[in-house]
Amino acid sequence: MCATIMATKFPDAPKIGMVSLGCPKNLVDSERILTKLRSDGYQMSPDYAGADVVLVNTCGFLDSAKEESLEAIGEAMAENGRVIVTGCMGDEADVIRAKFPQVLAVTGAHQYEQVVNAVHDASPPIPNAFVDLVPEGGLKLTPRHYSYLKISEGCNHRCSFCIIPSIRGDLVSRRIDAVLREAEKLVQAGTKELLVISQDTSAYGVDTRHEPRLWKGREVRAHMTDMARELGQLRTADGVAPWVRLHYVYPYPHVDQVIPLMADGLLTPYLDIPFQHAAPSVLKAMKRPANEAKVLDRIHKWRAICPDITIRSTFVVGFPGETEADFQYLLDWLDEAQLDRVGAFRFEPVEGAPANALPGAVPEEVKEERYQRIMAKTAAISAAKLQAKIGRTLPVILDEVGEPDEEDGSIGATARSQADAPEIDGSVFLRDVGEGRKAGDIFDVVIEDADEHDLYGVPVQD
């Protein structure tokens, strides 16, 4: 006699949709929230229709970012109707609720517990002890081969155009052993590129007086240089050193100490330094260090130590009080600095920023004209630098592999060099990559051509 075995059908878990806006720091917050919800038994929905609740992680740094956030909330409300808002704009709950009174909850930046509790209230989890819900390393919103590593929250600077400290508070550094443990797990789980982020990476550990912790049997300080040195020791399962890229680095004196680490191959030769301007009077009005001449000298020294170093930065044009002479000073400074990657922004008043009260507002048409000029200047510098790479052999990391060509079967791919951070810099477009390549592979290519922002090449034959 055969026994009848009845299959147990578990109830469907509630599904969460996520819209993540703003900077990589927000993206890391979104990943942490989703990882916690996944561990609580929730499933993820790739679209509005399948979601029981939609989370919108907002950006509130600029008025244009706030408008984008409100548009995203409006779209989520229209497409789904069950929406929880979190992130930087969460501090303006009255604005959000005035426009969208039916949102289920509003929480502020990095308020992980509050947003998870709001999801629990809106759509309670269904316990299921038999299913492993969280992959090693947590849930990611980036491709598997690169990961953002957030080392701190908040900022101690009081730049006149910025409201980040009022949103995220003063600097709070993570323990160095926690940072290194997370980095090690990410690399073990398949990460080939670590992107170190914070509001001020150079200030890491200042709030804890660089408190040391035991790591691998020795004491390591909570300090940018010590952290960078340790990250450079990590290896993937097959013994390859991952790329380690530093973002949001203020040019404090100790930044000089990481350049030899780049020259020695422990760090990716790349520095993201938000200079914001060069004219002393504008830097003073911004409440930023006005030492542009010393910075130029240091840039020259960095390149002498590590000739392949890439320096990326961002600049604000049309800041209150910026004269034509100030702007020309910036253009001349860029001619001297020869920065590799540059982004520019037209100044926008942000509610709560002291810069709004400064005299000398720059007309919008002047901002636009200056923006076009700085972009033309930096594009020309970039084009010349990339042209100089034609004929060189460079390592790249593969981001995406195309389909074989219907006629000849050749396969193209999109990759990045060490000079290119994902999403913000250029790409290396490859031909004839052959079969078997996959995202995250690191290999050498010969550069055949270049334009203002991107390179074109072919893999070196094995």
* Order of all β-strands in the sheet with 310-317: 146-150, 193-197, 243-246, 270-272, 310-317, 341-346
Place of tokens 């109830």: 11
- The DSSP annotation for 301-344 comes to HHHHH-TT-EEEEEEEES-TT--HHHHHHHHHHHHHH--SEEEE
Q: How far apart are CA 88 and CA 283, in angstroms?
A: 25
Which amino acid is located at 154 in the chain? G
Residue 404 token pair: 């074989």
Amino acid letter, 264: D
Strand-strand pairing, 83-87 and 152-153: unpaired
HSE-CB of 360 using CA atoms within 13 angstroms: 13
The answer to whether the CB of 342 falls within 8 A of the CB of 382 is yes
Q: Is position 306 annotated in a ligand binding site?
A: no
Q: Which amino acid is at 41?
A: G
Residue 23 annotated as binding site: yes
* Closest-CA residue to 232 (of 204, 258, 209): 258
- Tokens for 331, please give them: 């253009």
DSSP secondary structure string, 179-232?
Answer: HHHHHHHHHHTT--EEEEE-S-GGGTTGGGTT--EEETTEEE-SSHHHHHHHHT
2 is in an annotated binding site: no
Task: Answer whether 362's CB lies under 8 Å from 409's CB.
Answer: no
Q: For residue 374, what is the enclosing H or E element?
A: helix 364-387
CA–CA separation, 97 vs 157, rounded Å?
31
Up-side HSE of residue 220: CA atoms within 13 Å toward CB? 22
Which residues are annotated as part of the binding site for [4Fe-4S] cluster?
Answer: 23, 59, 88, 155, 159, 162
Binding residues: 23, 59, 88, 155, 159, 162
